[in-house]
Amino acid sequence: MAYIIISLFILAGLCALIESHFQDNEKNKLMLFFLVSLVLTAGLREVGLDPDSENYEMVYRNYYSVTATENTEFTYLLLSAFFNLFTNDVHILFILYAIMGVGLKLLAIRKTTDFTFLSLAIYISFYFCVHEMTQIRTGVLSGMFLLSLTLIAEGKRKWALFLILAGSCFHVSGLALIPLLLLNNKELKGKRKIFWCCVIPTGYAIYFIGVGVMIMLDIPFIGAKLANYQQAEDTGQSMAGVNVFGPLYLLNIIIYFYLMYFSKTVTEYNRYFPIIIKIFALGILAYASLSLIPVIAERISLLLRVVGIFLFPCIACTIRPRWLGITIVLLLGLIYINYGLNYIDFQFIWKV
């Protein structure tokens, strides 16, 4: 399975290098090929390949149990109840979630950036494994979130809210995205740019001071979610851990400040750049500031940083010749795919 993902990443990278030669209809046909390939890869994976699939199978077959109803979103339970009328094989649900997760992201890529295949390669390198191969409910949520970005940027906040709330029906963490509706897409310059550059040091300050954010809301479902995450961390059942000096986290920070430096140039190529990089900054901030509950810190940070699918290809706008910029982004993708494949327990280049 890992070799299929690597092959699709390489193929997307090759398409990125020659994308300027493709017509729109040719791009659409290639995207359809990738859609089918990625859906089949995620939907037909072996149960147990990733950390979450066995739990998904258990809930699918026991959707009526108290444990399932208290800790699982109603959409998963309703779909489980419906498909159990036909089969007890959870793969039918995997395929449906893959269609939604992959399909929404590929649609968002076509709507948000001109770097179609470079964004696709970045998506395959990391978030395909994280969301479509592991956290499938979050995968649907993140797809709807990515679709909402252009709406937020254009001031169509009601429709953006609708997408975020719809995504929250698949994973409750989507409720944390609602404050993003207050953001705007104004160009980053002057005091505004300084403010957003200070977001990252603020995250480190919160981390070192130890003012972690832990809110146990008196709402049955959300409170139960937080309690379960905390219990999993305390008992060692969760592998999550906050390391604000980890290589991948520091690489994200380097990319952030690099693109902030070239923000004026990048905005000329992608008018949605300001809103994208602001959300990416909040993703970096969340990782450190929510460190008191590592699982929450990782989940929220990953969800926000999914905009990196659009952000990282912007590096190519700052480097000449263009093919060299694209190649550098693909080399970054090689680093990320090494971490992404770790979610399905596969060692690619080095041990993570």
pLDDT in tens, 279-291: 999 999 999 988 8
pLDDT band at 296 (very low <50, low <70, confident <90, very high): confident
What's the pLDDT score for residue 67? 81
pLDDT at 308 over 60: yes
Decide if 294 contacts 238 (C-beta within 8 A). yes
The residue type at 349: I
Percent of the chain surpassing pLDDT 70: 91
- Which pLDDT value is given to residue 170? 96
Q: What pLDDT score was predicted for residue 215?
A: 47
Alpha-carbon distance of 214 to 218, in angstroms, equals 13
Confidence band of 227 (pLDDT split at 50, 70, 90): low
pTM of the model: 0.91
Beta strands of the chain (E only): which ranges? none
DSSP classification of residue 10: H
At residue 213 the predicted structure's pLDDT band, cuts being 50, 70 and 90, is: very low
Is the pLDDT score of 224 beyond 70? Answer: no
Instruction: Count Cβ atoms below 10 Å from residue 231 Cβ, excluding itself.
Output: 12
Question: Is it the case that residue 225 has pLDDT exceeding 60?
Answer: no
Between 107-121, 206-220, 279-293, the lowest mean confidence (pLDDT) is in: 206-220
Among 155, 174, 102, 106, which residue's Cα sits nearest to residue 272? Answer: 155
Work out the number of other CB atoms within 10 angstroms of the CB of residue 107. 15
pLDDT in tens, 2-52: 999 999 999 999 999 999 999 999 999 999 999 999 999 999 999 999 989
pLDDT of residue 226: 55
Spatial separation of the C-alpha atoms in residues 175 and 161, rounded to whole Å? 10
Estimate the share of the chain in helix, then strand, then coil, as percent rounded to the nearest 5. Answer: 75, 0, 25
Cα distances from 173 to residues 8, 15, 205, 222, in angstroms, run 29, 34, 25, 9
Which of the two residues, 22 and 221, has the higher pLDDT score?
Answer: 22
Confidence of residue 293 (pLDDT cuts 50, 70, 90): confident
pLDDT value for 281: 98
What integer is the mean pLDDT of 86-104? 97
> Residue 347's pLDDT is what?
85
Contact status, residue 256 vs residue 284, Cβ threshold 8 Å: yes
What was the pLDDT predicted at 265?
94
Amino acid 235: pLDDT:
47
Contact assessment for residue 206 and residue 286, using Cβ atoms and an 8 Å cutoff: no
